[in-house]
Amino acid sequence: MITGSKLKAPEGFKGLTKDVEYYFLASDGKANRARLVFFDEKGTTASLLTFSRPEFDLALTNGDLVECGSDATPPWLKAISGISVDQLEKDRVRPKKSYDEMVNKRYLAIANLVEDAEHILSSDKPESIINAYADQQSPKLVGARLRFWFFTYLVFGRSKWALMPNFGRCGKGKRSQGADGKILGRPPKSGLKSRFPATPEMQASIVNGFIKYNDKTKTDAEIFGDVLVGEFGCFPLTTSKGKKKFYQPDGKPFPTKGQYDYYLGQVISTKAYRKARRGPSGARAKSGFIGSFSHDLVNVNQLVEFDGYNPKGKISGLLEGSAIDSACVVRGVCGQSGAVVALGFSENKENMEAYRMALFSMAISKVKFASLFGLIIREEEWPTYGLPQNIVFDRGPGSTMGVPIRSEAVARGEMMSWLSRLELTPTHSGQSKATVESSHPRTKSDNDQPTHFHSSLNFVEMSKRHILQAIYDNHASDAEGKMTPDMFEVGFSPTPHNIYKFYSDLGYDAGTEVSFDYAVREFLTPHPAHIKRSGVYFYGRKYNSSKLIDTEVFDRIALNGQISVTAYVMTMCVRHIWIELEGVLYELDFVKPASVHPSSVDISLSDLQVLNENRLRGKAQLREEQPAILQDRNAQFLHATGKAWDSGTRKLGRPAKGGAAERDAADQKRLMGKGHD
């Protein structure tokens, strides 16, 4: 126990009140006594209490007195505890004296007493000595005030700042409008009686009017005017000097703008008012920082946020090369490292297939994923791998992930057993998935005449570009905010790639590994395909593989027969497809004839479907043209020979080989120049 320790008497003790705090001041071994000090709640008076040492020790032993910590700051100064004096000085308005001057004045009044404190406390009547000292000063000092300063200084660390005046509650008193109608507050410039007193009825009408007429699209002035007109029955008036003001025809009271703002602030907190005026999103955008999304994460792939964005610019169509909308890009970003770990694409707009492709890209090696687009990368360039434990989607197409597809007879394993939690963020709340929102590439804008960029790339080429962009972002983005002291000690650049690799190499990786076949069946889109004698045809395009040939399936197909199978496809690139035959998946490659340009290999599913429609349309047109072409041929022959294309007669048996036949054969040879040997 030291000077300043707090003591309580749980059941009271020799004049001490139950549960009231007392402060230990000193123990006088020579006089065999202990002294305590009691301060009132307001911080204006101090009372000295004296006990004999034996009874004080016994009270501590028996639990009649209990020590309960200590205070470095007097209780009446708790409101300013921890705030620097410089800041307190800055918060004051036109002060006449500084806090330092006031505190020094108080300390100088007790300086001599402090020097002789040991003698005073060991005396029989310390308070009488202090009172006598106060009377001897010129001018005289108040003994009670001097005792309060003296004991406060000794109890609270012998710091002069314990003598700070208690100004913390100044100006915080609440006065309600009295029934006498007296105006409270500073007189307005228009005159003391130019406004009405803010009665409780007026205050209630102010709040009710704000609730009734509040509109995010209106300004504060518009809402205030609506409240005066609708709630208080006021009308605008033009004065003789041409100024506009409100008046109440019946002479009933109505508030000024200052009264309106003041009483709204008394009832509605700043956060609630900002939310009411700006809406949840606007209020949240103006709110302070409350923490990082990665603060509670331990592993990479523990939580991945997904979101789609539409790059600016137009791309070129496959057939005509015209400007069409670019692909929608869905990114998945690891909440712990900030690395782009998933990438999916869809044409024109965000859809479920893009999210499925993004999950497919997580489930397989990124080297394999890039190769499906004809892009070659190294494993160390994009090492992220594994399905996450928790995923975060907005309320777009991805919100139905995990729900069985009702249009299919059998749901395709939609419940995703590998997933622990699927979180859906509120509508129009980008900050709820800030990690992925902040990772999207930015496009600079200006106020010049609108323009658009027509790229020469098609869908697949644009997808390759976004794959390389994701790798670049992982290696070049600044993720210093996610670095830990251990990472700084190792010493590497603060990029999402390095942070992900650091965690993953140490085993802090919550990713779930699944087989490639599972990923294909779970995330890729199924379409019908047909195995024919010459290969597998998917929307008129031929595919094959050596493993499929080894199954001898083509030998089992009749000349004009075919087998219907299910093909799994990445909609943005049909360079490869996967078919399921007798429960086994086979990866097939596009069979490219030598005459086909290499650029035609990488096309999207929709482009392939367009080509297939053109193929079918051409076949239908040929069927219509064939009879006309045939008749045109017969007519040209008739015109040239005077005989029909199929003129003659059909006879039974073999042609006769008599004398007439031999003479005709000889005549034919002579005609052809072969008659003379």
Q: 379 lies in a domain?
A: yes
Do 36 and 150 reside in the same domain of the chain? yes
Do 493 and 564 reside in the same domain of the chain? no
Residue 399 has pLDDT above 70, yes or no: no
Do 392 and 492 reside in the same domain of the chain? yes
| Dist. CA 601–CA 590, nearest whole Å | 7
Do 13 and 135 reside in the same domain of the chain? yes
- pLDDT tens digit string along 203-243? 899 999 999 998 888 888 999 999 999 989 998 888 878 88
Q: 463 lies in a domain?
A: yes
Sequence-distant contacts of 591-597: CB under 8 A, at least 24 apart: 591/535, 591/542, 591/543, 591/544
pLDDT of residue 500: 93
Q: Which of 253, 285, 317 is the last residue of a domain?
A: 285
Q: Which of 285, 314, 343 is the last residue of a domain?
A: 285
- pLDDT tens digit string along 577-624? 898 888 889 988 877 665 455 555 455 555 666 666 776 777 788 788
Kind plus residue range of the DSSP H or E element containing 423:
strand 421-424
Least confident of 90-99, 414-423, 567-576: 414-423
Per the structure, the complete domain to which residue 551 belongs is given by: 524-614
Do 244 and 365 reside in the same domain of the chain? no
pLDDT of residue 322: 58
Q: 182 lies in a domain?
A: no
Residue 93 CA neighbour count, 13 Å, CB half: 2
Q: 658 lies in a domain?
A: no
Do 147 and 265 reside in the same domain of the chain? no
Specify the amino acid at residue 424: L
Structural domains counted in the chain:
4
Q: Which of 285, 313, 335 is the last residue of a domain?
A: 285
Q: 423 lies in a domain?
A: yes
Q: 225 lies in a domain?
A: yes
**Which residue is listed with tokens 């005030």?**
145
Q: 435 lies in a domain?
A: yes
pLDDT of residue 242: 80
pLDDT of residue 414: 46
Do 350 and 473 reside in the same domain of the chain? yes
Q: 636 lies in a domain?
A: no
Do 123 and 152 reside in the same domain of the chain? yes
Do 376 and 497 reside in the same domain of the chain? yes
Do 307 and 280 reside in the same domain of the chain? no
| Dist. CA 116–CA 118, nearest whole Å | 6
pLDDT of residue 438: 57
Average pLDDT, the chain: 79
Residue 175 has pLDDT above 80, yes or no: no
Kind plus residue range of the DSSP H or E element containing 635:
helix 605-641
Do 280 and 338 reside in the same domain of the chain? no
DSSP state string for 239-289: -TTS-EEEE-TT------HHHHHHHHHHHS-HHHHHHHHHHHHHHHHTSPP
Least confident of 131-145, 271-285, 443-457: 443-457
Do 44 and 111 reside in the same domain of the chain? yes
